[in-house]
Amino acid sequence: MNKFVGALLFLVLVVVDLPIVYSATQPPKATTTQKPTKVKPSWALSVSVKLVNKTEECRHYELEINNQIFMWVCDAKIRVQLPSSATLENVTELKPINGTADLFSLPRSIYPGKYLVSELTVTGEGEPKVEVLDVSVALSTKKCPAKVF
């Protein structure tokens, strides 16, 4: 009888705990959209600039834009500034903001803990200075709405 009660208790504990363990390993499902909230850019995103390749005519840089918070980064406004001796020839993975020469936005949301890699092609001398101006976020259990910027 004691073995039967012990086995039954063990079985109940395993069956009851199993869904809890399973649900903890699954990423949250985004169910509804949330109006994005603006946060201090330095809290949400970090940007690193790395020279990847250099030729006589141009330089190729890689930007790594990291989401540092436990929220979706729905969108961001990013400024890419160059010295007067340099020209921005090409940008990948960032969308230019209409009516501006040096402002860009994200092509998609960035999940918490993830990053986006963009490449810049610059002619002339000087390294780009990249600055995050605005960031819109939403809870990681919600969906980001249509792009803000």
Residue 148 in domain: no
Query: For residue 127, what are the CA distances in angstroms to 39, 50, 76, 80?
Result: 27, 9, 21, 10
Residue 32 in domain: no
pLDDT at position 17 is: 42
Residue 24 in domain: no
CATH code (residue 57): 2.60.40.290
d(Cα 28, Cα 46) in Å, to the nearest integer?
Answer: 24
d(Cα 76, Cα 46) in Å, to the nearest integer?
Answer: 11
Residue 94 in domain: yes
pLDDT of 63 higher than 60:
yes
Query: For residue 108, what are the CA distances in angstroms to 90, 103, 129, 130, 133?
Result: 19, 16, 22, 19, 17
Q: Are 128 and 59 in contact (CB under 8 A)?
A: no
Residue 118 in domain: yes
Per-residue model confidence as pLDDT tens digits over 68-115: 999 999 999 999 999 999 999 999 999 999 999 999 999 999 999 999
DSSP 107: S
Residue 9 in domain: no
- How many domains does the chain fold into? 1
Q: Positive or negative, the Cα torsion across 65, 67, 68, 74?
A: positive
Q: What is the CA radius of gyration of the chain?
A: 23
- Residue-wise DSSP of 9-38: HHHHHHHHHHHHHHHHHSPPPP-SB---EE
Count CB neighbours of 42 within 10 A. Answer: 11
Structural domain containing residue 124:
37-139
pTM of the model: 0.74
Residue 5 in domain: no
Mean pLDDT of 29-37: 70
DSSP 5: H
Top pLDDT among 19 and 125 is at 125
pLDDT of 122 higher than 60:
yes
Residue 50 in domain: yes
Q: Which residue has the tokens 């869904």?
A: 19
